[in-house]
Amino acid sequence: MYIIAGLGNPTREYEKTRHNVGFEAVDILADKLGARVTEKKHRAFCGTGRIGPEKVILSKPQTFMNLSGESIRAMADFYKVEPDHIIIICDDINLAEGQLRIRTKGSAGGHNGLKNIINHLGTQEFSRIRVGVGEKPKEMDLADYVLGRFPREQEGVMDQAYQDAAEAAIMMVTEGAEAAMNFFNRKK
């Protein structure tokens, strides 16, 4: 079993913001799997599906970004899923818009949602699919940038990124993280 969680902030106020790319990707993945991510439990909206023979729990934590680890830990404990079977999809300001970067472990890299997950799981050994949202302008506050929406001209690039992130998650489950890294980390 796998947990695939997209990070974001709840409420309509944050829909379609840079920080909510994880929610967008999980919605696309749910569509591909014929799943519904509507059941409220573990401080998240959850749904179940199958990728090949593997059962997957799809999740959109409702704890707000900086407390995502509370929800992820509750799910991991309830379903008895080890960190190496957890895949987190989140935004990354260090990558160009739409670019993906897949890793099986590593630091939070300044991302408060990942930092909280690391703290709650007690390890950095979980997979993450980072979705590029572009570098923030120097004169702009980081919070304002990640809580802002994409300009219209970037929407197509981001729609493709959500598709790619969903496909990357599927590949990670079916073929392994290394195959997904080899394919998606090189894709521009």
The Cα–Cα gap between 30 and 10 comes to 18
Cβ-count burial 93-111 (b if 16+ within 10 Å, e if not): bebebbbbbbbbeeebeeb
- Model pLDDT, residue 120: 98
Give domain limits for the chain.
Answer: 2-184
Q: Give the DSSP H/E element, type plus range, for residue 118.
A: helix 112-121
DSSP state of 170: H
- Model pLDDT, residue 186: 78
The Cα–Cα gap between 135 and 91 comes to 11
The Cα–Cα gap between 48 and 59 comes to 9
117 CB-near residues (< 8 Å, 6+ apart): 68, 69, 72, 73, 88, 126
| Binding-site sequence positions | 14, 64, 66, 112
The verdict on whether 42 is a catalytic residue reads: no
Is 146 in a helix, a strand, or coil? helix
- Model pLDDT, residue 103: 97
8 A C-beta contact, residue 166 and residue 102 = no
- Model pLDDT, residue 61: 98
Residue range 2-184, CATH number: 3.40.50.1470
- Model pLDDT, residue 141: 94
pTM for the whole structure: 0.97
The Cα–Cα gap between 152 and 163 comes to 18
User: What mean pLDDT is reported for the chain?
Assistant: 96
Tell me which of 19, 85, 111, 120 is the catalytic residue.
19
Residue 30 has φ and ψ, to the nearest 5°, of -60, -45
pLDDT tens series, the chain, 188 aa: 999 999 999 999 999 999 999 999 999 999 999 999 999 999 999 999 999 999 999 999 999 999 999 999 999 999 999 999 999 999 999 999 999 999 999 999 999 999 999 999 999 999 999 999 999 999 999 999 999 999 999 999 999 999 999 999 999 999 999 999 999 997 66
174 CB-near residues (< 8 Å, 6+ apart): 51, 52, 54
- Burial of 144 from C-beta contacts in 10 A (0-12 / 13-18 / 19+): exposed
| Binding-site sequence positions for tRNA | 14, 64, 66, 112
